[in-house]
Homo-oligomer: A and B are copies of this chain.
Amino acid sequence: MGEIMKIVIDSFGGDHGVGEIARAIVKVLETHKDIELIVTGNKNSLEQELAALNFSSDRLTIIHTTEYVTNDDSPVTAIREKKDSSLVRAFDILKENDDVKGLLSLGSTGAVLSGGFMKIGRIRGISRPALCPALPTITGGNVYIMDCGANMDCKPENLCDFAVMGKAYLENVIGIKNPRIALLSVGTEPHKGNVLVHDVYGSLEGMDINFVGNMEARDLLSGKYDLVVCDGFSGNVLLKSTEGAILSLLSILKNKIKSRTLSKIGYVFMKKTFDELRGIMDYNNHPGAVFIGCKKLIAKAHGSSKYISIAKTIELLYDMDKVDLVGKIENSMKAKEN
């Protein structure tokens, strides 16, 4: 067995309380004997949940904290001032201990990003770290979006860095050789797009990546692309409108089925198909988004995540450390400089 890997978890911010975090902790520690977890938050609540699960482990440390960073807090102010919050303490533990490799939070995305910038800092040469979630495609794989909300306004060099980091992540952690990287635009033709797209297109063409040109938002789930690079505002719109459209369609379908007797009968026969579909689209079967580009590993799970998704996100941090993703990105940036 290899070296023990330590990961710190901010236990605040989940919509379902700390119960799901506790279950995720149990799952990860039982299946990975080389992971050690440090958890910040309300010690009492966490211990109660773990006791209810009959779980104890010497690879688990709980650090009691007295404050919380919420979505209403200004991210920068919260990181500066809420020194005994579960999030800031988690970042301090990540920062101060060489053997703590990664951090997971379900809390305020803005605060997690600010913590990354302010407490951990960027990898040398990376202009902007970025948030990189995955969505399932119609061909059974995943498509990754980068940036998806960390950087609202971007310059061309930022998108070039996203491509470098995304390539390193997909090749080394996800296992996609020579990933197909596209630029989000309003049409596939190179002349289509806004100023940012025009300015960055040529640079992406000149890079040592498999750049396949512009992607229209319509084709996100087509399976034709592995990674889409874009500014964080557009990436967020792309991700959330896709998720929203799918949820809206499923909701219309459900209401229509309920309103018609024949359809209700039909539903009985199709239940397995619908369950499978819901499974593919369910956040809870997928890990959260990774925040790539800081000197240490950071991940943000959805506030509504259940324990399976939380455990998968912890395992993703573990996989990122195993392949030394930070080192790989550092090397890519050095190669680019030369």
Contact = CB atoms under 8 A, between A and B. Distances in A.
Interface string A213-240: 0001111111000000001111011111
Contacts of A269: 262-263, 265-267, 269
A52 interface: no
Interface stretch (A33-41, A169-177, A251-259, A324-332): A251-259
B272 A263 contact: yes
A86 to B, nearest CB: 22
A218 B243 contact: yes
Contacts of A71: 189
A193 interface: yes
A239 B231 CA distance: 17
A191 B194 CA distance: 24
A245 B136 CA distance: 11
Nearest to A198: B152
Contacts of A243: 218, 245
A1 interface: no
A333 interface: no
A152, A239, A270, A280: residue with the most chain B Cβ atoms closer than 10 Å = A270
A183 to B, nearest CB: 12
27 contacts: A71-B189, A152-B186, A186-B232, A186-B240, A216-B240, A217-B236, A217-B239, A218-B240, A220-B244, A221-B244, A221-B248, A241-B242, A242-B242, A242-B244, A245-B245, A249-B250, A252-B280, A253-B273, A256-B277, A257-B273, A262-B272, A263-B269, A263-B270, A263-B272, A267-B269, A269-B269, A270-B270
A268 interface: yes
Interface string A294-337: 00000000000000000000000000000000000000000000
Contacts of A189: 71
Nearest to A243: B218
A257 B262 CA distance: 17
A184 B280 contact: no
A281 B249 CA distance: 9
Interface of A: 71, 74, 137-138, 149, 152-153, 184, 186, 189, 191, 193-195, 197, 216-222, 231-234, 236-253, 256-257, 260, 262-263, 265-270, 272-273, 276-277, 280-281
Given A138-B251, A186-B240, A222-B244, 20 more contacts: A138-B248, A149-B186, A153-B194, A186-B236, A216-B244, A217-B236, A217-B239, A217-B244, A220-B245, A233-B234, A242-B244, A246-B249, A256-B277, A260-B272, A260-B273, A266-B267, A266-B268, A266-B270, A266-B273, A270-B270
A245 B252 contact: no
Contact of A217 (B237, B251, B263, B273): B237
The 10 closest A-B pairs by CB, nearest first: A266-B269, A266-B270, A218-B244, A152-B194, A217-B240, A245-B245, A217-B241, A221-B248, A218-B240, A266-B266
Contacts of A247: 218
- Which of A220, A222, A252, A253 is the most central at the interface, judged by chain B CB atoms within 10 Å of its CB? A252
B195 A152 contact: yes
Contact of A263 (B152, B218, B273): B273
A219 B241 CA distance: 8
